[in-house]
Amino acid sequence: MGTKNKDAALRQFCKGNCRRIKNPGTINLRADSNSLGSTYPRLFDNKDDDVLTIRKGLGIPISKDEKGGFNARVRRTYPLKFSIQICRRLSPFNRVHRRVVIQDYGKPIYESSSKAPLLTGLARCIEGYMSLHDEAGLIQCDVSPRNLMVNEDKDNPSWPAFLIDLDLAIKLERDGSSGARGKTGTRAFMAIGVLYGENHCFMHDLESFFWVLFWICIHYEGPGKGITVERFEKWNYMSTEELAAAKQGVKSEGDFLRIAEDYFTPYYQSLIPCVNRLQRLVFPDGGRWKKPNFDLSRNMIGTLQQAQDNSDAVN
């Protein structure tokens, strides 16, 4: 549920959930809520907002029939005394209803105010991705421009860049593989190997970061100024096999440079050397990787940081 205050740019959201409790008097709402972040549970009339308070301990309400009367017919398959005992055991569990008020912030990475924060945001998102992979054991599986966020609000102390949307995330197995062959992700940014049905791993998602920057440089004439490029719009609709074949043409450095010079918008032409270095990292020796490269994320971040410090690239 969203509410707007006087500042139209400031949006707040209230999310609620119910949790079953066994001992109503022992739950610590503030401590439990704060485990999710800085949240403030609201209580009314000094009482927990729980199911039994709302319903006053009543059972399931009886519905009205078509004539306006009440339909209270019950079909019994057990003796009355035994049925009462069952009903007592099946009475509703008490649940505490809590609310968390949050405020969204940040914007998609393609709306970065200039090339420098775009590169910074991409590097930070790669860092966040690897933290998710190494510490939480998750593979995000949907690296795309709308899931990479930047925060350029100087008055907001939150993360300057972050990754969102774990709807398609998968858990790593103990051997480091995902064991998942599903072709998941946003089609235009999926790694070639995923399009061919390979087991999803972190290398595929790091390749997706390359495709995000490649796509932005072709489809944006400036911050948030999107354009349509027919050749690449087809990537959204091709079959996975056709798209994998189309992306093969970007693996070799010569073909990549030709495409970049022809299709990168004037605003992003200065990033061709940076994106070219990323292309060589993601596609070593002009081909697809054959074994995981655990230095790839660090090398990609270093390339992006080097471009940030290059005035010819970001101005």
User: What is the residue extent of each domain of the chain?
Assistant: 2-103, 107-314
d(CA 148, CA 73): 56
CB environment 278-297: b (16+ within 10 A), e (fewer): bbebbbeeeebbeeebeebb
At which residue do the structure tokens 């991409």 appear? 122
Residue 271 φ/ψ, nearest 5 degrees: -95, 0
In 3-state terms, what secondary structure has residue 102?
A: strand
- Split at pLDDT 50, 70, 90, the class of 95 is confident
137 φ/ψ sector (left φ>0, alpha ψ -120 to 50, else beta): left
Mean pLDDT of the chain: 79
| pLDDT > 80? residue 6 | no
Q: For the chain, give the percent of residues with pLDDT over 90.
A: 56
191 neighbors 122 (Cβ within 8 angstroms): no
Q: What is the pLDDT of residue 255?
A: 96
Q: For the chain, give the percent of residues with pLDDT over 70.
A: 68
Sheet of strand 2-4, all strands in order from the earlier edge strand to the far edge: 2-4, 11-20, 95-103
In 3-state terms, what secondary structure has residue 191?
A: coil
d(CA 226, CA 109): 13
End-to-end CA gap in the chain = 41
16 φ/ψ sector (left φ>0, alpha ψ -120 to 50, else beta): beta
Q: What is the mean pLDDT of residues 251-278?
A: 97
Please name which of 198, 183, 193, 191 lies closest in space to residue 143, comparing C-alpha atoms.
Answer: 191
| Least confident window among 33-42, 127-136, 178-187, 199-208 | 33-42
**Architecture of the 107-314 domain:** Orthogonal Bundle (1.10)
In 3-state terms, what secondary structure has residue 164?
A: coil
201 neighbors 178 (Cβ within 8 angstroms): yes
d(CA 61, CA 64): 10
Q: How many CB atoms lie within 10 A of CB 273?
A: 16
Q: What is the pTM of this model?
A: 0.71
Number of H-type helices and E-type strands within the chain = 12, 8
